[in-house]
Structure 1
Amino acid sequence: MTVSPITWYHATADISERNRLNGDLRCDVCVIGGGLTGVSTALNCAERGLNVVLLESETIGFGASGRNGGQVVQGFAVDIAVIEQYVGKESARIFFQMAREAVDDLKERTARHAPEADLRFGYLHLTLNNQQFKTMQSFCAALHAWGYTGPRMITRSEVRDWLGSDRYFGAMIDPESGQIHSLRYLLGLARGAEEAGAVLFEHSAARKVKGTIVQTDAGVVTAKHIVYCCNAYLGKLESKLYSKIMPIASFISVTEQLSASLVAAIFPQDVAVADCNIALDYFRLTHDRRLLFGSGASYSAITPPGLVHTMKRKIVRIFPEMGDITIDYQWGGLIGITINRIPDIGRLSNNTFYAHGFSGHGIALTGFAGKIIAEAITSSDSRLKLFETVRHRPFPGGWLRTPALMAGMSWAKIRDWLSI
């Protein structure tokens, strides 16, 4: 079995190289990081008339923005009830509305900058047992109570009308979540940012930041404002942010092209899918008739041995008829999570901002983060202040934080397994 060393996203996107920073520049805003958060920030700031420079250490979309599952999901990685505990009911209602706005923004941005990004809607939140089904029923009822009445529950017998598998106990259908070719979307935003006047540099890693001066290997950017948009790839560039985010590795496989008859059997409806386990399976059908399948996570950020065979086994467990299918692409990437799974968006000083920790819900929320940071720089910081009211604790353990998380998540996986 020969698996491509590049991602399916990179194999199916029109990618152009950008220049490396060579020399010294001055600007209004220096954005560090060329993923969805950084490019969205650059785009929103440039559209507001600011002079923007973006620095990316590799290439645009090298990190999670070009390696994710492409799932566009309403809301946050935690229920709005959890956010309510942090900010109160009235502010939680605003959070809920902002999450809805984030998906609406994604629709508008896709239509304007990346119509080739294959944005499609329809989503199944699958449950594997009665306990998960009851929890999902409560979640669906809560969405209705908050004003989003589109989602509805279906039982085991009805799942077959939507997905060709007998593995699941029931599901919630969400008509306004969906899927997208995330790298094509990002590259479209990057072109839009450049058209608005932003300058994007690749292979230009920020090596040191002192105040609002950013040093790279071959140049220096002096800015009025700095925005850290590195997420799981931050490393130790900024010590005040390092402990509040944990990088974890997630892995995706993409199969060979499937026959039309097999596609009709396994996807009677064109929906993106995720189950409700802690270490979840998520999958969807690509525009070129492949199954894109992601599963679990490595909390050591290390690729596990025998991953191709493990992923193939998981696919066949859901779709037994795919036993002879070949995996053409497989890759991993880092997701940034916070302890409470709420995005951490704020500022370190009056002119230094950051956004990270989208915890697997970054396709839409990253764009919204860029929007409210641009608002804060140019006009009003009221929405940014709402995110700043959420207290984000550092991951405990210092250098031992990764082993501690591995132990905790291993127990969570065991609980998932025992409840099935």
Structure 2
Amino acid sequence: MQQSVSRQDFDQWMVPVYLPASFVPVRAEGSTLWDQNNKDYIDFAGGIAVNALGHAHPDLQQALQQQAARLWHTGNGYTNEPILRLAKQLIDATFAERVFFCNSGAEANEAALKLARKYAHDHGGPQKSGIVAFNNAFHGRTLFTVSAGGQPAYSKDFAPLPGEIQHAVFNDLESAAALINDQTCAVIVEPIQGEGGVVPAEPAFLRGLRELCDRHNALLIFDEVQTGVGRTGSLYAYMHYGVTPDVLSTAKALGGGFPIGAMLTTDKFAASMGVGTHGTTYGGNPLAGAVAGKVMELINRSDVMDGVGLRHRWFIDGLNAINQRLHLFKEIRGLGLLIGCVLNEDFSGKAKQFNLAAAEHGLMVLIAGANVVRFAPSLVISEQEVKEGLARFERACEVVVRGAQV
């Protein structure tokens, strides 16, 4: 008999690095979840842009169950069929010629940064080790990636941090150019800053970074952990922008909810990472490979990509209608189904209040800093779920507005 558990047990038993919602989800289907009290919630959070095909997708269930009956894990001393097939899917669909598999976005970015340092040391010497990243970026929570991330709140308590990482202003090419030189080994950038407020890069900014990296023989790394696998309406956001990186990190939606990450690169750069230079025990396991292979098969289709654009319009139209009535947002921005509503001065710093009010009204949303309410739903969310979710969001917003007027 299973032990009964509650949200209060989290506060007793878990290391307190999270402050989870007051309810505990127990089952889900599509873009609807139910908690321990059988209350339903529309999911506009998508597991932080992870559940690209919603919850309990029957094809993903089947892929996992079939592989679970065959082979679970062998470690990196062996390879396996599902992960090799997934590697070929990614190579065929992108610029990449080589793939390294891991378990998360942070690990994928860690591998990308290590590759950049290794390649630079091999071809330029140990002094070519500088990394340029951007203010308000987010690249993960390992010590290396949190140092590259441009949010001191996440890194300041863990000093001393890895050195030779500098931060420029996002979307400011002059700021980046002032830092990129012949000692730079890599520039790492998100095509859309997710945690930093859902801020899309300007096309000219990314083109300029590509030119600067070429001029100084530095690797251009695109962190597509949040923007990848259809989120923007292209399989990867670099395709939307027409700027090809040297290295790309991907995770989140790649597994549709099953943990997996990957670093994609070319033969030229992969050659620096010989046997033993990097590794992971669980990375590239058969279960993850089987599920992610099915995710790629289902998402990398024109009808799904077109559907992301259609759903983007549903959200934008609905959010604009709410805003016309309640006057909450000074900007609604993003691409595809990564959307940020920037709160105006009257509600500055209150994104968490909107998040909590939404949950009370049966809706799961995200925040991106204190001033942005973020949406990252399933790429195949139904029109009815969008309509119902937006209706619940409007009711939640009305509660926040009334509270602010008291």
- TM-score normalised by length of structure 1: 0.25
- TM-score normalised by length of structure 2: 0.26
User: Counting strand residues as a fraction of each chain, which structure ranks higher?
Assistant: 1
